[in-house]
């Protein structure tokens, strides 16, 4: 006796979907397993060059005690034209603030992500002007992606507070004070302080807090000027972020985010992706004790 199995189009489609879903799930599982103990980026040597001696000098580690109050990490890939204006504005602000407050110390860490233009030359000119104590450049050698550039800068900075900002100057550097204010406000809350601890030994760098800049308040204007399909894609992306990261983060793309040293240590030693995406935002939210959005 022979049995004839008849597959309908719906059954074939369901079977195909099942096969594809199983394949994707398997790929994700094996990739997650492969990356689980992959901490090569943490131990990978990072170097910066002294433009006067041209000697390569090892960078400090995020696990070392803080030596500066504020570190500004600037990822740069082929930013020869935009970098000078951004660095001029940044250094003018930092120098003016340091002149008013002698306890204010800072560094600017430029991370050259394998640029093929004059980015390295421009950075060296500024380092010669402001000294390697206040400004330095980390050379990645080849292009890894913005996520890796930021991660490497964070892992080898000296500040109690670490700020990532873009080289295009899209956000005014003096807005850093808004993020500082939020972080200090959170740090003062009783739930983040041990009442039995000696307050004299308290340091802001010891509490894992992150503060994210946001341009969400400009969304209404953007909606009015963009094409309908761009607004549709934007809303769709916001939905994906909401599902992946949960509520509370309205703007993932603003390249202006601040972390305490403790938060940066927890976050950037655990991120595995070289590019920036909503999955990284989910990781930031998962390991930080607090995220404040301005």
Contact residues for 46 (Cβ-Cβ < 8 A; gap 6+): 58, 59, 138, 152, 155, 156
Residue 165 located in a structural domain:
yes
pLDDT at residue 273, rounded to an integer: 64
Residue 248 located in a structural domain:
no
Residue 22 located in a structural domain:
no
Q: In this model, does residue 120 exceed pLDDT 80? A: yes
- Reference 143, options 112, 107, 110; nearest CA is 112
Please check whether residue 145 is in contact with residue 274, taking contact to mean a CB–CB distance below 8 angstroms.
Answer: yes
pLDDT, tens digit (0-9, with 9 covering 90-100), for 28-56: 566 555 555 444 444 456 667 677 777 77
pLDDT at residue 263, rounded to an integer: 93
pLDDT, tens digit (0-9, with 9 covering 90-100), for 212-241: 866 554 444 444 455 666 766 767 766 776
CATH number for the domain that contains residue 58: 3.90.550.10
Which of 2-6, 58-62, 237-241, 280-284 has the least mean pLDDT?
A: 280-284
Q: In this model, does residue 198 exceed pLDDT 70? A: no
SS3 271: coil
pLDDT at residue 72, rounded to an integer: 97
What's the number of domains the chain is made of? 1
pLDDT at residue 204, rounded to an integer: 87
| Structural domain harbouring 166 | 47-189+205-215+254-293
Structure token digits, residue 165: 């900002």
The span from the CA of 122 to the CA of 83, in Å, is 8
pLDDT at residue 236, rounded to an integer: 73
Residue 61 located in a structural domain:
yes
- C-alpha angle with apex 6: 3 to 12, nearest 5 degrees? 135
Q: In this model, does residue 288 exceed pLDDT 90? A: no
The span from the CA of 288 to the CA of 260, in Å, is 10
- Reference 16, options 26, 6, 24; nearest CA is 24
pLDDT at residue 261, rounded to an integer: 96
Residue 92 located in a structural domain:
yes
Mean pLDDT of the 113-127 span: 93
SS3 113: coil
Q: Average pLDDT over the chain, rounded to whole?
A: 76
Residue 242 located in a structural domain:
no
Residue 271 located in a structural domain:
yes
pLDDT, tens digit (0-9, with 9 covering 90-100), for 132-189: 899 999 988 888 888 889 999 999 999 999 999 988 877 889 989 999 999 998 888 7
- Residue 106: pLDDT band (50, 70, 90) is very high
Residue 31 located in a structural domain:
no
Strands 135-139 and 159-165: unpaired
């Amino acid at each position: 006796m022979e049995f004839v199995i008849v597959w309908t189009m719906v059954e074939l489609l369901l079977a195909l979907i099942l096969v594809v879903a199983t394949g994707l799930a398997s790929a994700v599982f094996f990739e997650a397993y492969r990356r689980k103990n992959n901490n090569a980026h943490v131990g990978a040597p990072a170097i910066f060059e002294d433009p006067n001696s041209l000697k390569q000098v090892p960078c400090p580690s995020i696990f070392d005690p803080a030596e500066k109050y504020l570190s500004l990490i600037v990822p740069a890939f082929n930013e020869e034209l935009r970098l000078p204006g951004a660095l001029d504005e940044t250094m003018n602000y930092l120098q003016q603030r340091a002149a008013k407050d002698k306890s204010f110390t800072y560094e600017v860490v430029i991370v050259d992500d394998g640029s093929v233009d004059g980015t390295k030359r421009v950075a060296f000119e500024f380092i010669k002007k402001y000294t390697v104590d206040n400004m330095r450049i980390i050379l990645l050698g080849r292009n890894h992606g913005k996520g890796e550039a930021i991660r490497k800068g964070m892992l080898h900075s000296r500040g109690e507070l670490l700020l990532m900002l873009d080289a295009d100057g899209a956000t005014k550097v003096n807005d850093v004070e808004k993020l500082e204010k939020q972080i200090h406000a959170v740090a003062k809350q009783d739930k983040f302080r041990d009442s039995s601890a000696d307050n004299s030994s308290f340091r802001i760098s010891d509490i894992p807090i992150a503060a994210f800049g946001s341009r969400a308040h400009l969304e209404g204007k953007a909606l009015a000027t963009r094409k309908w399909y761009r607004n549709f894609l934007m809303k769709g992306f916001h939905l994906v972020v909401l599902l992946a990261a949960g509520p509370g983060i309205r703007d993932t793309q603003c390249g202006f985010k601040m972390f305490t040293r403790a938060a940066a240590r927890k976050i950037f030693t655990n991120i595995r992706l070289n590019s920036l995406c909503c999955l990284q935002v989910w990781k930031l939210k998962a390991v930080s004790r607090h995220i404040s959005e301005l």
